[in-house]
Chain A
């Protein structure tokens, strides 16, 4: 009997089976079932609220549980949609290269790791999941084959390992002090004290490395810029979000007794620095993919700007709304950045390079791609009706209301710089008179970018209340 809880295990098992099939039989491609498994989880949470499945029939703390609430379902949804778009793009992108036979199994393993992470409820299980995520991401990035790709992804792998090890040390301390590995039981057991603070610091530190929070961001631009376009898309859109998602969970659900306003302010300050530094470097970037990678650094900064403001609000409807704004921004960036990288991939494939100053005429040759880039840029800047606009508006509103007006200048500066770097690319693309021959030149590689950008700019902004209903916000 298939219960709603079965959808949780299946969300992990289905992409995993797909990975095994594509690993054992490289000629076929079975990427199509993975989004379906994700949809089922979202539907189940929509109808039944928070779900929990105890794997192996052993209740926590002996066994491992999977759990899904509105927040996890939102990210599973993001993974399903972005993943589907990237998969379609990749099936066109990789037609000509031998690396395709390794792309699909590693891609599906990455998908498995992402779903396993959104649904995890056990702190050691998260360690294994983070390692699977890091390894498959680094292996995928290295498919680029160039020396730059190998070096950048080796560094990414090592940084990821360091982050996971600090996480594991935190797990050891938690097990020593509280005797359980289950997140729900830990949340109940954690009391203010040096051990809990130390464990939180270690774990958040590991996650900050993986999320590329300033000043630990140095590994991200080379790694994301040198990977093949579909891989860069998933790295920027989904993999870095995983670390932010976990940081959010730890901060507000499990370690809620231990967090302090000072610590939240520190995260916010680092986020502000990331916004400014990332946007500035994006503006000065020579290559399109490097621009997109630095833009990711900036957007991750925005997500951490929410932390001190969430801290300032007491638990209740107001905080829920701000949390909804954070999720909206994270999703919006996920769609927009994936679209940006896919568009950049099409441009690079077509032009043979991705140097921004020499992109003249792209609008004429690749009108659909340029339009997608423009749409995605709208979501990155935060113009209406995109989801990011709503998110930034709520962030601004709350900053002023909480009296923490000092977060506002970095946000505004970030938006201005984002406008700068998006329009810089568009102006180069429209160098010659834009009289395109066809709107779409290569459907499989161009349409996904367009679709994802439309979701970021139109669907999320206009349909935000559906997201908030999923998250359980009034």
Chain B
């Protein structure tokens, strides 16, 4: 980006900014020290771990993300969607890269299928070990980024309408599950204990697809356009 603005300010004016910030940081360090000293013995850990059997999964982080604080995750997927729409609204995607040479092509041929497999594995294993929708989506997106670097202008993504549908799928499934549980009298996003695991897996699968598509689409940088190669 714009490196012409990279001028060197005179020595003394730099301190005008540095000294208050150093003071701010020191003050925050002291506050943090006091906060740790007065902190309660338990924060939310025991409660979260104790409720784990009812949550439907055995990975406590997944339980927090998809069950206890599922509403946060829902809104966060909406933030991703907003970024996706915002980037597409700005116009067409810039030109991609030239087609890859043999070395990069070989690497892509080896790594991208691996990324797909690892992504799928991370999605499944997230229920009982570190993993989950976001991690899986990020790995899949890495595969897409590699494809784009190797010269594929669409980075392995499907047609624009399909991209749009997949991007909304994550929030859609999550919201519909919430409305369904509300309609059945249980409350928004209150899963039945027996069906919790299935619902979480359903939501996570949709979310993985959405996250992967959105991250790659946002990396591509704009609305896809068919160009001559």
Contact = CB atoms under 8 A, between A and B. Distances in A.
Do any beta carbons of A and B sit within 8 angstroms of each other in the complex?
Answer: yes
Contacts of B168: 20, 23-24
A112 B175 CA distance: 12
Contacts of B72: 64, 122, 124-125, 128
A389 B88 CA distance: 44
A61 B187 contact: no
Interface in B93-115: none
B47 A61 contact: yes
Contacts of B165: 24
B149 interface: no
Nearest to B186: A57
A173 interface: yes
Interface string A162-189: 0000000100010111111100000000
Describe A's contact surface by its main secondary structure.
Answer: helix
Given A56-B189, A135-B79, A176-B36, A102 B171 contact: no
Given A24-B168, A54-B187, A64-B69, A195 B35 contact: yes
B175 A13 contact: yes
A169 B28 CA distance: 10
Nearest to A176: B35
Contacts of B30: 194
Interface stretch (B14-22, B37-45, B128-136, B139-147): B37-45
A55 B71 contact: yes
A99 B82 CA distance: 15
B71 A125 contact: yes
Given A13-B175, A177-B38, A57 B32 contact: no
A138 interface: yes
Interface stretch (B5-13, B150-158, B177-185): B177-185
Given A20-B171, A194-B34, A125 B75 contact: yes
Contacts of A256: none
Given A55-B187, A125-B71, A198-B28, A179 B78 contact: no
Contact of B47 (A62, A143, A177): A62
Interface in A101-116: 102, 105-106, 109, 112-113, 116
Chain B residues touching A, range: 35 or more
Contacts of A128: 72, 75-76, 79
Contacts of A6: 182, 187-188
A109 B82 CA distance: 7
B164 A24 contact: yes
Interface size, A (range): 35 or more
B219 interface: no
A131 interface: yes
B68 A179 contact: no
A53 B27 CA distance: 38
A139 B76 contact: no
A122 B72 CA distance: 10
Contacts of A102: 85-86, 88-89
B70 interface: yes
A398 interface: no
B27 to A, nearest CB: 8
A132 B31 contact: no
B81 interface: yes
B2 to A, nearest CB: 12
A179 B40 contact: yes
A192 interface: no
Contact of A176 (B32, B79, B186): B32
Interface in A139-153: 139, 142-143, 150
A314 interface: no
A193 interface: yes
B81 A23 contact: yes
A244 interface: no
A210 B40 CA distance: 32
Nearest to A138: B86
In this complex, the member of B43, B71, B82, B172 whose beta carbon has the largest number of chain A beta carbons within 10 angstroms is B82
Q: Which 4 A-B pairs have the closest CB atoms?
A: A139-B86, A9-B188, A179-B43, A57-B190
13 contacts: A2-B182, A10-B179, A10-B182, A13-B175, A24-B168, A24-B172, A55-B187, A56-B71, A56-B188, A131-B79, A135-B86, A139-B85, A194-B31
Given A106-B86, A198-B31, 12 more contacts: A17-B172, A20-B168, A55-B187, A57-B187, A58-B68, A102-B89, A105-B85, A136-B86, A138-B86, A176-B36, A193-B34, A194-B30
